Amino acid sequence: MTDAATSPDGQGATVPGSRSPWRAAAAHLGRNRAAMAGLVTLGVLAFLAITVPALSPYPIDDIFWDAIGTGPTLAGGHPFGTDANGRDLFLRTLYAGRISLTVGLAASLVSVLVGVAWGTVSGYFGGVTDSLMMRFVDILYALPFMFFVILLMVYFGRHVVLIFVAIGMVEWLDMARIVRGETLSIKRREFVEAARAMGAPSLWIVARHVVPNVVGPVVVFATLTVPRAILFESFLSFLGLGIQEPMTSWGVLISEGATQMETQPWALVFPATFLAATLFSLNFLGDGLRDALDPRHR
């Protein structure tokens, strides 16, 4: 901010006013150590989840008859041990990461895209539009969610994508309500009036003035959505409506491991550590993003 004045009499290489806000935000995020550590951790987890099961010499449901329920041994080739059925937990934990990370990210993506669009439009236009849109949200809230999922399963058969659809459909409801509330206060600010006075179309104002100002709560809430979606998926799987054996997810592994906590603690510790590391990283990254996107915190 201080170096702008150094170029003698104006027209140097950069025209003043052309600084990209995205580049500034990225630079700020890069200086935030906790956020960068979170980003790197998530990247490593995702990388391992994709590559390790793909490169593994045996499938995830391969049973090692000579190593049923053994603890973690590097020498035996099972760094995380095996479960009660003799399957390698290292492989299964990383494979589970694929499902859990995808569910979490897909749910928060749907929640951000649909929730922000729905909430800002509803809040900004107000009146009848607002009433209709929010009553629709209320109706979806009121529908028994399990009934909804079972209906989906009955009609379309059991499929992983259906879990994304089902979780995505409920997760955007909270986001829409939060964003609508924020929008109601933003639209009374004078810069919105000034934009209207300049003849800007309403959707343009929503995109340029309202959305950038709801980023703070949206980012925080989106990072909270990821763990909820992951746990939600394990709940569905527990009921037999989600992921089915031999596929697995962190939620499934944790609930299985919890039942054998006293005899085989490693079956709980490793997936739980991975889930915790993911949530920690997401929180740090979310905080960093919120600060980086707000010029007042730079």
Partner 1 sequence: MNATPAPVDPPGTAATDPAADGRPILGVSGLRKYFRLRGGSGGVGPAYVQAVDDISFTVATGETLGVVGESGCGKSTTARLLMRLIEPDDGEILLDGRDVGGRDGMSLRALRRNVQMVFQDSYSSLNPRHTMAEEVSFGLTAQGVKRAEARRRANEVLEFVGLEPAIFADRYPHELSGGQRQRVNVARALALNPRLLLLDEAVSSLDKSVEAQVLNLLIEIKERLGLTYVFISHDLNVVRFIADRVLVMYLGKVVEIGPVDRVYGSPGHPYTRALIASRLSMDPRRRIEAPPVAGDLPSPINPPSGCRFRTRCPIAEPVCGSREPVLDRFGAEPAHLAACHALVPGSGHGQAPDRDGGTVPENEGSRP
Which residues of the shown chain bind partner 1 in the complex (CB under 8 A)? 1, 4-5, 7, 10, 15-19, 21, 189-191, 193-201, 204, 208-209, 212-213, 215, 293-296
At position 2, the amino acid (one-letter code) is T
Structure tokens at 13: 């290489």
Residue with tokens 């990225």: 26
In the complex, the smallest distance separating the C-beta of residue 89 from partner 1, rounded to whole angstroms, is 46
Q: Which helix (H) or strand (E) element contains residue 85?
A: none
In the complex, the smallest distance separating the C-beta of residue 176 from partner 1, rounded to whole angstroms, is 21
Give the Cα-Cα-Cα angle 110, 174, 240 (nearest 5 degrees): 65
55 vs 197 by CB, closer to partner 1: 197
In the complex, the smallest distance separating the C-beta of residue 118 from partner 1, rounded to whole angstroms, is 21
282 vs 292 by CB, closer to partner 1: 292
6 vs 263 by CB, closer to partner 1: 6
In the complex, the smallest distance separating the C-beta of residue 23 from partner 1, rounded to whole angstroms, is 11
Structure tokens at 200: 């800007």
In the complex, the smallest distance separating the C-beta of residue 50 from partner 1, rounded to whole angstroms, is 35
287 vs 294 by CB, closer to partner 1: 294
Which positions ≥6 away from 160 have C-beta within 8 Å?
A: 99, 243, 247
Long-range CB pairs of 228-237, under 8 A, 24+ apart, other chains included: 228/107, 228/171, 229/103, 229/104, 229/106, 229/107, 229/108, 229/167, 229/171, 230/100, 230/103, 230/104, 230/275, 230/278, 232/107, 232/167, 233/99, 233/100, 233/103, 233/163, 233/167, 236/149, 236/163, 236/166
19 vs 135 by CB, closer to partner 1: 19
d(CA 44, CA 180): 36
8 vs 57 by CB, closer to partner 1: 8
Give the SS3 label for residue 261: coil
In the complex, the smallest distance separating the C-beta of residue 214 from partner 1, rounded to whole angstroms, is 10
31 vs 297 by CB, closer to partner 1: 297
In the complex, the smallest distance separating the C-beta of residue 161 from partner 1, rounded to whole angstroms, is 36
d(CA 42, CA 276): 11
In the complex, the smallest distance separating the C-beta of residue 222 from partner 1, rounded to whole angstroms, is 18
> Is the separation of the CB atoms in 93 and 81 below 8 Å?
no
d(CA 227, CA 275): 8
79 vs 212 by CB, closer to partner 1: 212
